[in-house]
Amino acid sequence: METKAFELMKLPFAVDALEPVISKSTIEFHYGKHLAGYVNNLNNLVQGSDFQGLSLEEIVLKSEGGIRNNAGQILNHNLYFEQFGKTAKSAPTGKLAEAIVRDFGSFDAFKDEFQKKGATLFGSGWVWLSSDQNGKLVITQETNASNPIQQGLCPLLTFDVWEHAYYLDYQNRRPDHLAALWQIIDWNVIEKRY
């Protein structure tokens, strides 16, 4: 009997909760079609393979080709969707806030660099805020389904710059989409990851 190793994550918000930043239609397609497709694909690809029973992180680190692409997209999207919510907290606090000031000069300077890296990533992929093993923060551009764990980093915050993440709402205006996302970041989630 076939077992399903991976399941579609449960969203931490209602499908219309992020409007107008991300529309209900975009969530229905992005989460309900794209992410669901990656989950189904990965379950089919790992069935009976050496990757069956491994975590997403292990698969991303040990596989290549279609298995890695689907596992990477699930891992990336899970981290992406988990970080959103309507919260009154517009910036991080505590140790993460201190690290941002230490490593980027200010929260605004960090946001500017993060948005620029997201806007200038050619093609499809992700922009990430991650920490290294010493707690130093770095911003990376990851193409396609890559994840910072492949570089030994701990992913904290990500913006998806694949067109399916924003095209229904923003068409080709990726920078506008990136600028709007700050309104729906749940900084409590990001702080826990740090």
User: Which amino acid appears at position 51 of this protein?
Assistant: F
Domain co-membership, 59 together with 141:
no
SS3 46: helix
Domain co-membership, 115 together with 166:
yes
DSSP letter (8 states) at residue 192: H
N- to C-terminal Cα separation, the chain: 40
Which of 79-83, 88-92, 178-182, 184-188 shows the lowest per-residue confidence on average (mean pLDDT)? Answer: 88-92
| Domain hosting residue 167, numbered range | 94-193
The tens digit of pLDDT for each residue in 53-62 reads 999 999 999 9
Helix (H) or strand (E) holding 170: helix 167-170
Strand partners, 129: 139, 157
Domain co-membership, 187 together with 141:
yes
The tens digit of pLDDT for each residue in 108-140 reads 999 999 999 999 999 899 999 999 999 999 999
Strand partners, 131: 137, 154
Average pLDDT over residues 139-167: 93
Domain boundary at 82, 108, 125, which? 82
The token pair that represents 173 in the structure block: 């205006």
Distance CA 104, CA 164 (A): 30
The answer to whether residue 14 is domain-embedded is no
The token pair that represents 193 in the structure block: 């990851």
The answer to whether residue 109 is domain-embedded is yes
Domain co-membership, 47 together with 113:
no
What DSSP string runs through 60-92? HHH--HHHHHHHHHHHHHHHHHHTB---S--S-
- pLDDT of 1 reads 40
